[in-house]
Amino acid sequence: MELDKKIVQFRVICNDEKYLKSSIDWYNSIYKTDFKIVNFTLGEVNFVDIKVSKYTLSDIFNIGYQFGVKEEKLRQKGEIDW
C-alpha cells in the first residue's frame, strides 16, 4: 500500500509525552512512517498534536493501539497509575 499521502495532523489525549514519543519512535523505525509530535498542551487534560505524511489509515489506528498497549503494560507494572 502506498505511504506518501497528504500531511495529516490530529490530536490525542496523552498524560505523559515520553511514553508516546517512545511508541512513535519505535513505530516509525519499524514501519517507515514519519509520525511526529508537534505540540504538547498541558491542562486539566493533556493533549498532543501529531503530524504525519508517510502513512496508511491502518498506521494511524495501529500507532494508537501500540500506545494503548504500552500504557496498559506500564499500569500492570505499577509504573503509572492513571
Residue 29: HSE in the Cβ half-sphere, 13 Å Cα cutoff: 6
Q: Are 37 and 20 within 8 A, CB to CB?
A: yes
- The structural domains of the chain, ordered by start, are 4-77 (3.30.1370.10)
Low-confidence ranges of the chain (pLDDT < 70): 1-5, 82
Specify the pLDDT at position 16.
Answer: 84
What is the tens place of the pLDDT at every residue in 59-75?
A: 999 999 999 999 999 99
DSSP letters spanning 31-73 = H----EEEEEE-SSS-EEEEEEEE--HHHHHHHHHHHHHHHHH
Specify the pLDDT at position 56.
Answer: 93
Specify the pLDDT at position 79.
Answer: 86
Specify the pLDDT at position 46.
Answer: 92
Cell 500531511 identifies what position?
7
CA distance 19 to 40: 13
